[in-house]
A and B are shown apart, each in its own frame.
Chain A
Amino acid sequence: MVLAQGNPLPAEKAFRFSARLLDAQTVEARFYIAEGYYLYRDRVHFAVEPASAGLSVPPLPSGKVKEDQFFGRVETYRGDVVVNLALIGAKPGEQVVIAAESQGCADIGLCYPPTVQRVTLALPEGSVVPKVQGEGARKPWLN
């Protein structure tokens, strides 16, 4: 097969997602966007499983404004993007999964369908914040 120039990364490496607990109710969600790749701001979405853990997502940081011929004004992210999410209904000791959906492209002329990445976090029983439990396997796109 003829490939686009270079050696393009799979979506989960181009837009690596991680999440960690800052305290019992705050999750720091972060995308590490590889050089030469970008994400669309309006295509970044977060969810929590179980839904009863109640995820509150603040307005996402502003991106770089770009005029798209078809979609009009769009914002894109490069480098790292950090968002602090709040868990407003989670119980102490509960295990939650942060699901982050994203969609982006590579400068070499490739775009990736929406991808969902998941990270499992164990909430502290008390006030001690444990370490990240590990990053969940990437789920197939369109999930």
Chain B
Amino acid sequence: MGHRIRSTILLAVAGALALAGGIWLAVWDQAKPSSDALFALQLPDTAGVKQPLSQWRGKVVVVNFWATWCEPCREEMPEFVRAQTELGPRGVQFVGIAVDQADRVGRFAKELNLNYPALIGGYDAMELSRALGNVLVALPFTVVIDRHGRVVQTHLGPMRPQQLRSIMKDIL
């Protein structure tokens, strides 16, 4: 008898936990922004050629919103260049979306020997960054998407090299 009661209680507790877990997962899932809108974007590069972001779907994509007028953005980019060289062969693609003028972006990209695409974004791109969690619509803002298109990290402000390495270690 006592055993049956204990079993019933255990079952009830397990059920409640499963339900709570399910709810928590649903909430967590909703809270995670989707990458669909990002992959639906087509933005011009510095030569004015429209680049669909969907071309990088299936890779680990690191999207960095930046501008030449943003000094902290410029300061973190050499690390992204290094990471692109190092991790590119393992399926990582960095993509810069500059909220800026194409000529300035082109000049800076050349100075830095930027080895990943520098696309020119406007109002839509910044609104998109807001939808991805950039409530202050400030820069730099970085979004890491895994191979399955899941947004695994969003980061406002410069990323420390260690942070970037630790995220990459988790998803590669």
Q: What residues make up the interface of A, taking CB atoms closer than 8 Å to B?
A: 1-5, 8-11, 40, 43, 68-71, 103, 105-106, 108-113, 141-142
Let me know if B136 and A8 touch, CB within 8 A: yes
Closest residue of chain B to A110 (Cβ to Cβ) is B138
Q: Which residues of B contact A40 (CB under 8 A)?
A: 69
Stretch at the interface among B5-13, B14-22, B48-56, B151-159: B151-159
Let me know if A113 and B137 touch, CB within 8 A: yes
Which listed residue, B99, B133, B157, touches A109 by the CB 8 Å rule?
B157
Number of A-B residue pairs, CB cutoff 8 Å, is 76
Let me know if B72 and A110 touch, CB within 8 A: yes
Let me know if B138 and A111 touch, CB within 8 A: yes
B34 close to chain A: CB less than 8 A? no
A36 to B99, CA, bound (A): 23
B92 close to chain A: CB less than 8 A? no
Which listed residue, A5, A11, A68, A108, touches B71 by the CB 8 Å rule?
A68
Q: Which residues of B contact A4 (CB under 8 A)?
A: 156-158
Q: Which residues of B contact A110 (CB under 8 A)?
A: 72, 136, 138-140, 156-157
Whole-angstrom distance between the Cβ of B15 and the nearest chain A Cβ: 33
Give chain B's interface residue range (CB within 8 Å of chain A): 20 to 34
18 A-B contacts (beta carbon < 8 Å)? A1-B154, A2-B153, A2-B154, A2-B155, A2-B156, A11-B138, A68-B71, A71-B69, A105-B71, A110-B139, A110-B140, A111-B73, A112-B139, A113-B99, A113-B137, A113-B138, A113-B139, A142-B123
A111 to B98, CA, bound (A): 13
Let me know if B157 and A3 touch, CB within 8 A: yes
Interface string of B21-58 (1 = CB under 8 A from A): 00000000000000000000000000000000000000
Let me know if B126 and A113 touch, CB within 8 A: yes
A11 to B126, CA, bound (A): 14
Q: Which residues of A contact B136 (CB under 8 A)?
A: 8-11, 110, 112
B59 close to chain A: CB less than 8 A? no
Closest residue of chain B to A141 (Cβ to Cβ) is B137
Which listed residue, B108, B122, B133, B154, touches A70 by the CB 8 Å rule?
B108
List 7 extra interface pairs beyond A3-B157, A105-B70, CB under 8 A.
Answer: A8-B156, A43-B69, A69-B74, A106-B138, A111-B70, A112-B137, A113-B99
Q: Which residues of A contact B126 (CB under 8 A)?
A: 113, 141-142
Let me know if B137 and A103 touch, CB within 8 A: no
Q: Which residues of B contact A142 (CB under 8 A)?
A: 122-123, 126
Let me know if B69 and A112 touch, CB within 8 A: no
A28 to B83, CA, bound (A): 49
A113-B99, A141-B137 given; A3·B72 CB < 8 A? no
B115 close to chain A: CB less than 8 A? no
Let me know if A70 and B137 touch, CB within 8 A: no
Whole-angstrom distance between the Cβ of A15 and the nearest chain B Cβ: 12
Let me know if B155 and A8 touch, CB within 8 A: no
Q: Which residues of A contact B73 (CB under 8 A)?
A: 111
